[in-house]
Structure 1
Amino acid sequence: MNFEMTDEQRQLQAEARRLSRAELAPKAAHWDAKAEVPWDNINLLAKSGYMGLLLPEQYGGTGASLLDLVIVLEELAWGCVNTSLFVFSANAQGNRIVQLGTEEQRASYVPRIAAGTLLASHAMSEPGAGSDARKLRTSARREGADYIVNGTKCWISRGSVAGLFLTNVNFTDEGSKGLLLIEADTPGVEIGKIEPLMGHRGSPSTELIFRDVRVPADRRMSEGDLSASLFSMSFSRCCNAAMGLGAAQRAFDEAVEYLKTREAYSRRLADLQGLRWMVADMKVKLDAARLLIYRAAASAASGFPSEGEAAIAKTFANETALQVASDAMQLMGANGYSCDYPLERIYRDVRAFAIAGGTTQIQRNLIARSVLGQRDHAKG
């Protein structure tokens, strides 16, 4: 196994790191404090090709790999988690359309997503069906050349600014579940409550309501049945893990610099053995998380990574990010808890990753299933 990046990946990482530190990090606190979408950053990154980094060249993208994308997302999240979420969403939803949609759908939507002129969001969660997607109640009833959609979604990331929703629905006439592409300006589509969030405050999560929404039948994603839709989540889980890792790396870097410059009892904090061991443990966990993410991302030759490997990467990286952010705050003492330093914001942001995209408890179910096989429901 070769654990070295290619020259192209090093260049990609270096440029993302430069942009993150020079352009994203200085205003990250502003977007968080004001709960504003970082449009300046989004427009900058769209012009630089990041919104279509992974998408095929024939649809306006760059044609990079998932491994390339997670390398970039880690760097962007180091500077501003809110901004990284929009780059993730463009590539994730664009890739879903490429992998699960029709050629007409690809040609219609993917170039605009890659250009950053169309923001897409995945509308799956419902009040009674969060992690259990099989209990979806949003209905799509066939009427002539259209589907009539009714239902309510919740916790839809970037819902208030998205122009397109990849919507999980229950095709009631068939007794099956799948994906419909529903444009935000379609009559009957309503944005409900915007959630007051602890973190990810520049990436609004909203309620989404469908009232007799008429959707042309050709907006049904051809390969987007429930099984394919759930498997596609493994892509998002790799990206989720990478963004959490990037934020945790920032917390680690801040704490390390702090220890080098502060003193206690006439000694540098960096020379105190108890603190040095904490730093060592943090470094071990960050490196292990990175390798697990890279392993999962590298398995995505067919469009989506291994479900089991993605679940392992997300579980370990999510819990590592939260622990590292907490330890970094502890190492910086009262200053770590102060809003004058980025640690408290990072802590709030990384907390969300262990919930979004399937909780770490759900990931453990997926991991166990990959090891032990599908549970025998008939036997309980």
Structure 2
Amino acid sequence: MSPEPAARVPLDLTAALAEVTAVSDEHAARTDRDAEFPVEALDALRGTGLLGLLVPTAHGGLGGTVADLVAAAQTLGRSDMSVGMIFAMHCQQTEAIVRYGDRALRDELLPGIAKGGIYLASVTTEAGKGGHLLSAQAQLTGGEGQLAIDRFAPVVTGGGHADGFLITMRSPDAVTDSEVSLVYAHRGQLDISGSGEWQPMGMRASHSAALKLSGSVPAGQVVGEQGGFHEIAAQVFGPLAHLGWSAVWLGTAAGALSRVLRLLRSPAGRERFDLTSELLLTRISRSRQRLESVHALLARALGMVESGQDLSVPARQLLLNSLKITAADECHAAVDDLVSALGLRHGYLRDSPTRLERALRDLRSAALNYSNDRLHLADGRLALRDQGVNFA
């Protein structure tokens, strides 16, 4: 149920994804149980070149499009939602460098990403402000071409295994929290320490634990203009996050529905379940309907992003935010419908081949990952600016 891929899909994308999902499937139960980062899946992403999906071919990458990212994220989400989110967030960081890094930074980083040597983590959360993108409290300082970083982040997905970080901070001369810069730091340029355990309900393999980062980087590692992160957020971070995350969530829920249908149509399933039950059929219908709605909204938002329009226009921001909110709510609800449809044995227990229990736990994080409540507040303000109710 993925949107039609663009014509430039790399010829080996399907094979590469099959290789990664085979590894992911093999280790997903253990990484979820033990809350371990999926090192084996990351190694497969490195080895297949998928970390360089959005890196231009001129820098050795696959030259993929946002549609390729959406298709890949759905496929990985069907296998392991943590792996899908790790991949989607890395691609978001990569695109920021492709579009806003200066030539020297692109020439330095992009070939390494393309070869699988650089996995990127995002550092945008901060104590006291949560994951709010457009403000920062910690300030860049320094002189003589160097910038000092002293940053604590309560949530950094995969940070313990990242080779580099894109970090939001107040720009050196900022007088308000809204003057935010984005800076890149190699792992070797930082002193990194962890803080606390990672023992969540779901998304356990994402290992999104807190990190303390300190060090210094050359001024040329600022991505975009000093204090200009708001443009990167509007044109890259927000759109690719909402498209990538929603694709992963849709993949996770679609995979769950597929496993349920295979169970029901199997000989054992036909003996156990009454496939003429109106209640069962209605719940399956509701689940499919929810996913169709998300898929349609995802395809519409993807088309808008690929058209190259200015994404800061209120109606377009509203569409992207609506995608994230709807996907978070409906994908979780679709799996919850399936839990009710199958009952205790195959809907609730961990050892069911449907894996609904894990999908439900993982998808519960979707509404909290850049909170739906926060987005609704933003959308209320945006809607007030669009009195004509014009749709993107």
Q: Deviations over 1:170-224 (max 9, x none)?
A: 124243321111222324443333432222222211222244x222211111247
Aligned to 1:343: 356
Indicate if the aligned counterparts of 1:147 and 1:215 stay in contact, CA closer than 8 A: yes
- Does residue 138 of the first structure (1) align with residue 141 of the second (2)? no
SS for the counterpart of 1:299 is helix
Q: How many Å separate the matches in 2 of 1:7 and 1:58?
A: 18
For 1:204-243, list aligned pairs within 5 A: 204-211=207-214, 213-223=215-225, 225-231=228-234, 232-243=237-248
**Structure-2 residue corresponding to 1:92:** 92
Distance 1:209 1:18 in 2: 36
Report the CA distance shift for 1:45/1:156 in structure 2 as closer, same or farther (over 3 A). closer
Instruction: Verify: 1:361 aligned to 2:364, yes or no.
Output: no
Task: Indicate which of 289, 294, 299 corresponds to 2:294.
Answer: 289
The letter for the 1-side match of 2:112 is R
- Secondary structure (helix, strand or coil) at the match of 2:365 reads helix
| Pairwise CA distance, 1:276 | 0.5
The letter of the residue matching 2:264 is L
Counterpart contact for 1:131–1:362, Cα < 8 Å: no
Q: Report the AA paired with residue 25 of structure 1.
A: D
Mapping 1:82-161, distance limit 5 Å? 82-161=82-161
Cα distance in 1, alignment partners of residues 55 and 310 from structure 2: 13
1:11-48 C-alpha deviation (Å, 9 max, x unpaired): 77854774466443243212211222222222223332
**Structure 1 residues 369 and 270, CA, compared in 2 at 3 Å: closer, same or farther?**
farther
SS of match in other structure, 1:345? helix
Q: Percent identity?
A: 21
Letter in 2 for 1:337: Y
Going from structure 1 to structure 2, the CA distance change for 1:114 and 1:11 (only over 3 Å counts) comes to closer
- Once the two structures are TM-superposed, the CA of residue 353 in structure 1 deviates from its matched residue by 2.0
Q: Supply the AA of the counterpart residue of 2:374.
A: I
8 A Cα contact 1:194 1:205, kept in partner: no
More displaced 10-residue stretch of structure 1: 13-22 or 34-43: 13-22
The residue matched to 1:215 in structure 2 has which SS?
Answer: strand
For residues 194 and 107 of structure 1, do their structure 2 counterparts lie closer, same or farther at Cα, with a shift above 3 Å needed? Answer: farther
Q: Which amino acid aligns with 2:363?
A: V
Cα distance in structure 2, aligned partners of 1:108 and 1:329: 48
Rounded Cα–Cα distance in structure 2 between residues aligned with 1:12 and 1:292: 28
Q: Which amino acid aligns with 1:318?
A: A
Q: Quick one: distance in 1 between partners of 2:212 and 2:59? A: 30
Deviates more, 1:192-201 or 1:338-347: 192-201
- TM-score by length of structure 1 reads 0.87
**8 Å CA contact 2:90, 2:120 repeated in 1:** yes
CA distance in 2, matches of 1:323, 1:304: 32
2:76 matched to 1:76?
yes
The Cα shift of 1:284 comes to: 1.2
Stretch moving more, 162-171 or 138-147 = 138-147
Q: Give the C-alpha shift of residue 281 in structure 1.
A: 1.4
Tell me the residue number matched to 2:339.
Answer: 329
RMSD over aligned Cα, in angstroms? 2.8
The structure with the largest strand share of the pair is 1
Q: Is the 1:67–1:294 contact (alpha carbons within 8 Å) kept by the matching residues of 2?
A: no
CA distance in 2, matches of 1:105, 1:353: 33
How far apart are the structure 2 equivalents of 1:93 and 1:235? Answer: 9
Given the superposition, is the C-alpha separation of residues 14 and 329 from structure 1 closer, same or farther in structure 2, using an over 3 Å criterion?
farther
Which residue, 300, 324, 327 being the options, matches 1:317?
Answer: 327
What is the aligned residue count? 370
Q: How does 1:294-309 map to 2 (within 5 A)?
A: 294-301=299-306, 302=308, 306-309=316-319
Tell me the residue number matched to 2:32: 32
After TM superposition, the score normalised by the length of structure 2 is 0.85
Match of 1:198 in 2: 201
Per-residue displacement from partner, 1:65-87 (whole Å, max 9, x unpaired)?
11121111111110122222332
Amino acid in structure 2 at the alignment position of 1:311 = N
Contact kept, 8 Å, 2:169 with 2:180, in 1: the verdict is yes
Structure 2: distance between partners of 1:80 and 1:148? 37
State how far apart, in whole Å, the 1-side matches of 2:174 and 2:320 are.
Answer: 31
**SS of the residue 2:375 aligns to:** helix
Determine the C-alpha separation between the residues in 2 that align with 1:188 and 1:17.
Answer: 34
**Alpha-carbon shift at residue 238 of structure 1 (Å):** 0.8
Q: Unaligned stretches of 5+ in structure 1?
A: 376-380
Kindly indicate whether the alpha-carbon contact (under 8 Å) linking 2:287 and 2:335 is maintained by their aligned counterparts in 1.
Answer: no
Cα deviation, residue 89, structure 1: 2.8
